[in-house]
Structure 1
Amino acid sequence: MIPVILAGGKGERFWPLSRRIRPKQFLSLDGTGQSLLQSTAERLLPLSKGGPGLWVITSALLENGVQQQLPDIPPENILAEPQGRDTAPAVAWTVIEVVRRYGEDAVIGFFPADHWIGKPDIFQEAIKSAENLAISQDLIVTLGLQPQYPATGYGYIEQGEKIGTFGDFTAYQVAQFTEKPDQERADQFLATGRFSWNAGIFIFRAGVVLEELRTYAPDLIAALEAEGAQAYANIEKISIDYALMEKTQKACVLPVSFGWDDLGDWNSLERLLPKQNGNVALVRHLGLDTQDCIMYGSDENEVIITIGVQDLVVVRDGNVTLIVDKNRTQDIKKVLPQLEDDPDLRELL
């Protein structure tokens, strides 16, 4: 299999630590010392043995950073998009390049660069089972993560009819994909036992997805086949879920559980790291009457002192301090356009 890491994201909800040329996937957020990108590559390398090796698709702005973080990956295995156009163009262009080099029978797996996996051994078993399913039945396999709580920040996949058992995992047809639900619907999803979180992980034979893209996204695939990366200037910005997965009849889901988190914003650190006195601190912290706060400092000499506060995220990075209510971390992205519009602050992006 050719594992492909999707590493073009901006990670804006981890600002100010995540910046344009140092986005979330280049950061170490789980206490291991490895960046998210390096941890993802380490998980995937065993799956690529005996094949063409690991691939990464990223943005042109981040290409040098990817090479520095993953020096053992051949430069020809790093695809650099001229502009970000969401995941459908990234997947389509990669598939075209894989087919050009290795033919339509090559099996490809796509993996976001910013996931935390608690049990890598079970993860690898699940991917191998998904690979066998994709090859034997010409299906597009997506992994569905067993929900741990009624999350409103993730998309969901509903299981349809059972296809069969592959290894230790049972596969189902996809009944439907659902975008991030409100709390009432999320509660209903969990109650049925038929829904799993959409992790954005896909495994398939290259020729299958190429044909499906020609059917459901003909303009996109035609432009990329004709022009390659030069087509990015004019193609639509669209996710692979909208462009293909919600339309194809070949989608199936493999429900799995291997300890998973999509590190979406600062609050995710509470789910990964131990608390001290109810707080998570990746910095030297002295607190008085401080509860349920998250503190981060990029300088090892940094000290953050808090008194009489609760439910805050406090981040120090260089000459920037962010203080935000934990319930409003999604709004961090709303501040960034104001920085863009101010010439004196633009360098903070």
Structure 2
Amino acid sequence: MFYPVILAGGSGERFWPLSRKSKPKQFLTLESGGRSLIQVTADRLSQLSGGMDQLMVVTANDQRSNVLEHLPDLPLENLLVEPVARDTAAAILYGALTIARDDPDAVMGVFPADHRVDNPEAFSEVISRAIAHAQAHDDLITIGMTPVYPATGYGYIELGPEVGPGVHRVARFTEKPDADTARAFLATGHFLWNSGMFIWRVQSILHAFETLVPELYGPMAEAAKVRGGLRGAYPQLPKISVDYAIMERAQNVVVIPAAFGWDDLGDWNALERLLKGDGSNVTVGRTVSLDTGGAIMYTTGGDDLIATIGLEDVVVVRAGDVTLVVRKDRTQDIKQVVQQLKKSPELERFA
């Protein structure tokens, strides 16, 4: 049995002000079709698992109602709620322990809730191949995306020797590089983007946690013996990502290269990749521009208007009661603004 686990606890702060604390990025609808990012992700994965019964979602305590609104067919017992955020390692272990309790021979997949896939058929083929490899081997499998430009916002995976058809050992992981390093990586043809998608037998990942992160595995495994006990263990858990805790330290990590039109929609610049047409600007909603080029303009209100004059390479967003104006090369800094808002009693409601 294949159990996909969707990680839906993120805050999506770099998509502020459209993404807010009350409605993070995974619950937004950014394309035509009317389906939110988490709904489209669930659609893709439920086809692989044979329905919603094997699909699980890990989310934050204050996002429980959003998940149920967007995924009304998700069984309640498949919604795993974290009382406090402890990064991806704890979230993934929560899912693995829950799956192992009912199906210790299962294959588990881990998928962010807010990524975009252009070619669902190619996606399904890659994930099916990864499932087959996991059933036959003890490897921890990550999906590496063939890079199409020298991105500095993604981590990179260096390909090692091939150990099976289309499966390579991971030579090393590299965190977000600078532009020169990213260009050098692409020139070699031996590097992939780290997608944050994983496949493994549930026993394989549990063994990795027990061996490499006993300070996380111990209290969670003990708490898992009691139904509902995992939630109680959370406040004392260490905060660490699965990349640092497991993937960069384990010896049995492999990568499957893939190309199915992937984008992690990390910040407002993603709209340019998503919606760029023949014009010089990307616009959503009512906009008027004069001598403006390379701009991304987005307004949610039907009665709101964005007007720009003499601007280049900027993002202008009007969402509710907030207007954002930022240079396109500074969108990664939007998180800092949101953090400032959260610290201010007078401004916290805008976060």
Shift of 1:129: 0.2
- Code of the residue aligned with 2:63 in structure 1: it is L
What is residue 140 of structure 1 aligned with on the other side? 140
Shift of 1:321: 0.7
What is residue 131 of structure 1 aligned with on the other side? 131
- Code of the residue aligned with 1:90 in structure 2: it is A
Unaligned runs of 5+ in 1: none
1:288-329, Cα deviation, whole Å (9 max, x unpaired): 111111111111222211121111111111111111111111
Out of 282, 285, 291, which is 1:283 matched to? 285
Q: Find the aligned partners of 1:272 and 1:259 in 2 and give their Cα distance.
A: 11
- Verify the 8 A CA contact 1:7 1:57 in the aligned structure 2: yes
- Code of the residue aligned with 1:65 in structure 2: it is N
What is residue 183 of structure 1 aligned with on the other side? 179
What is residue 247 of structure 2 aligned with on the other side? 245
What is residue 346 of structure 2 aligned with on the other side? 344
Q: Find the aligned partners of 1:330 and 1:344 in 2 and give their Cα distance.
A: 24
- Verify the 8 A CA contact 1:289 1:308 in the aligned structure 2: yes
Q: Find the aligned partners of 2:276 and 2:334 in 1 and give their Cα distance.
A: 24
1:196-242, Cα deviation, whole Å (9 max, x unpaired): 00000000100011011111011101111122122211111111010
Q: TM-score, normalised by structure 1?
A: 0.96
What is residue 201 of structure 1 aligned with on the other side? 197
Please, which moves more after superposition, 175-184 or 213-222?
A: 175-184
- Verify the 8 A CA contact 1:2 1:51 in the aligned structure 2: no
- Code of the residue aligned with 2:218 in structure 1: it is A
1:56-79, Cα deviation, whole Å (9 max, x unpaired): 111111011100000000010010
Say whether residues 1:211 and 2:212 are aligned partners: no
Q: What SS does structure 1 have at the residue aligned with 2:182?
A: helix
Q: What SS does structure 2 have at the residue aligned with 1:266?
A: coil
Please, which moves more after superposition, 303-312 or 210-219?
A: 303-312
Matches for 1:227-266 after TM superposition, within 5 Å: 227=223, 228-266=230-268
Q: Find the aligned partners of 2:76 and 2:338 in 1 and give their Cα distance.
A: 32
What is residue 226 of structure 1 aligned with on the other side? 222
- Code of the residue aligned with 1:216 in structure 2: it is L
Q: TM-score, normalised by structure 2?
A: 0.95
What is residue 115 of structure 1 aligned with on the other side? 115
- Verify the 8 A CA contact 1:157 1:177 in the aligned structure 2: yes
Shift of 1:97: 0.7
Please, which moves more after superposition, 50-59 or 331-340?
A: 50-59
Unaligned runs of 5+ in 2: 224-229
- Verify the 8 A CA contact 1:30 1:269 in the aligned structure 2: no
What is residue 334 of structure 1 aligned with on the other side? 336
1:71-112, Cα deviation, whole Å (9 max, x unpaired): 000010010101111100001111011101212x10110000
- Code of the residue aligned with 2:41 in structure 1: it is T
Q: What SS does structure 1 have at the residue aligned with 2:269?
A: helix
Q: Find the aligned partners of 1:302 and 1:138 in 2 and give their Cα distance.
A: 55
- Code of the residue aligned with 1:27 in structure 2: it is L
Change (3 A) 1:52 1:319: closer
- Verify the 8 A CA contact 1:155 1:181 in the aligned structure 2: yes
Q: Find the aligned partners of 1:277 and 1:305 in 2 and give their Cα distance.
A: 16
Q: Find the aligned partners of 1:130 and 1:341 in 2 and give their Cα distance.
A: 43
- Code of the residue aligned with 2:125 in structure 1: it is E
Shift of 1:51: 8.3
Change (3 A) 1:150 1:193: same
Q: Find the aligned partners of 2:137 and 2:146 in 1 and give their Cα distance.
A: 24
Q: Find the aligned partners of 2:200 and 2:343 in 1 and give their Cα distance.
A: 43
Q: What SS does structure 2 have at the residue aligned with 1:162?
A: strand
Q: What SS does structure 1 have at the residue aligned with 2:54?
A: coil
Q: CA-atom RMSD, angstroms?
A: 1.2
Shift of 1:244: 0.3
Q: State the identity %.
A: 50
What is residue 17 of structure 2 aligned with on the other side? 16
